[in-house]
Amino acid sequence: MIMKPQLLTVLTLGLLSSATSLPSYAQEMDEVDQTSPTVTTQEMFRCDVSQDPARTVITGMTNPENGNPVTLMNWSAQYFQSENEAQSLCQDVSQQLQTLYEAGELTNFSMVSGEWEGETVVCLKEGAEANCQRDRVLFTLDPSNSEAVLSELIAAEFKPAPTRGDYKTDLEVKFTFLDLLKSLGSSKENQES
């Protein structure tokens, strides 16, 4: 049986939005009501239009080589109808990720190409969900090359090494809240220096 090459792009981000079990962080926090859900207001995702192409960046993670926020997605206009559409999607998707982060809803998710109401979309899926949910759809794609486009949009830092032949590519990135705190701490130290 000969299988066609497939590219399944899955970006898994595990953001632990509650830090109350981390003593060093918990000591710095004011009193926290342990019975209510944690709501975070710190900027974690934003669209950087000063770059070409526009980029969705994770502001809570910095590149150790240059101190810049880590790029999650590059919004190349070649995959959309115009550069304006690519920049608009950058803004919209970054805001949607930020809103979900602030609501404490980005604890463990995957970014995948899938289908919703007959359209090929990129959506966020939690755990082993079978289908994309309406409130997790990020944007639509051309169905003829959706997985390849998603793979191209994902930043190089999150791509696995290339392979030959029939393969399945899983892009897996796990962020823990502790890693984010360490990164933020080192960013603040660098700014103060």
Residue 146: the pLDDT is 81
More confident residue, 170 or 164: 164
How would residue 42 be classed by pLDDT, with cut points 50, 70 and 90? Answer: confident
Mean pLDDT, residues 167-175: 42
Q: Where are the alpha helices (DSSP H) in the chain?
A: 23-28, 83-102, 146-153, 177-192
The predicted model gives 158-186 an average pLDDT of: 49
- Predicted pLDDT at 130: 67
pLDDT of residue 32: 38
Strands 119-125 and 45-48: unpaired
Instruction: Name the band, by pLDDT with cuts 50, 70 and 90, for residue 156.
Output: confident
Taking residues 11-32, report their average pLDDT. 32
Q: What b/e readout covers 127-155, taking b as 16+ CB neighbours within 10 angstroms? A: eeeeebeeebbbbebeeeebbebbbebbb
- pLDDT given for residue 127 in this prediction: 67
Whole-number pLDDT of residue 162: 61
pLDDT for the residue 160:
58
Tens digit of each residue's pLDDT (9 = 90 or more) over 65-104: 888 888 889 999 998 889 999 999 999 999 999 998 888 8
34 — pLDDT class (breaks 50, 70, 90): very low
Is 162 or 38 the better-scoring residue by pLDDT?
A: 162
What does the pLDDT look like over 128-147, one tens digit per residue?
A: 666 788 888 999 988 887 88
Q: What is the pLDDT of residue 40?
A: 52
- As a whole number, the mean pLDDT across the chain is 68
Domain segments of the chain as ranges: 40-180
- Tokens coding 106: 């980005």
Q: What is the average pLDDT across 51-59?
A: 88
Q: Count H helices, E strands: the chain?
A: 4, 8
- Rounded to an integer, what is the distance from CA 22 to the centroid of its chain? 24
